[in-house]
Structure 1
Amino acid sequence: MKPLNISQDIISLSDFKNKASKMLHNVQTSHRPLVITQNGKAAAVLISPSDFDLLTEQANFVDAVNRGLSDVEHGRILPDEDLDNIL
């Protein structure tokens, strides 16, 4: 996902409604998120499906690393020799 371009990637909900097809196309081709505002405040962020998949994959990886670090910290590990005996 590319960084947000403040001058192009923030749009009001009413403008989004009027230009939805074009905005969806832009998000998919530019890979930049689109911030949709309502009453002058950020209400939603639109990203492409492939960027969503990437973010989900990255979050799952970070979660797995954190679980592994917690296992090491709490002594929930097996020495290599014991693992070889199990397999």
Structure 2
Amino acid sequence: MHHPIIDQDIRPMSEFRSGVASFIKQVHETKRPLVITQHGKGVGVLLDVAEYEAMREKIELLEDIQTAIVQLNEGNGVEHHNAKKMILARLNK
């Protein structure tokens, strides 16, 4: 995901409300998120759908890696040659 450009990608709620279509177009074209503020504080982020899906996939991969690290630290890992044998045995069934 591209990083927001401060003077282009942070907008107050009132401005967002009056120009929703143009901001959706901006997010889609630039692939940068739009930060929406209210009373000077961030209250929401508008993302392009493809950027959101890519972000979710990365988060899921990182969660899987974290789970694997925990399992390895708990001694639940399988050595490479044993894992290979297990997989080949399943494929040959």
Does 2:73 align with 1:44?
A: no
Q: Which residue of structure 2 lines up, in the alignment, with residue 84 of structure 1?
A: 85
Q: Which residue of structure 2 lines up, in the alignment, with residue 4 of structure 1?
A: 4
Q: Which runs of 5 or more structure 1 residues have no equivalent in the other structure? A: none
Q: Give 1:82 shift.
A: 6.4
TM score, norm. by length of structure 1: 0.90
Q: Percent identity?
A: 24
Q: Give 1:78 shift.
A: 2.5
Q: Which residue of structure 2 lines up, in the alignment, with residue 73 of structure 1?
A: 73
Q: Give 1:83 shift.
A: 5.6
More helix by share: 2
What secondary structure sits across from 2:8 in the alignment? Answer: coil
Q: Which runs of 5 or more structure 2 residues have no equivalent in the other structure? A: none
TM score, norm. by length of structure 2: 0.85
Equivalent residue pairs, number: 87
Structure 2: distance between partners of 1:53 and 1:82 = 31
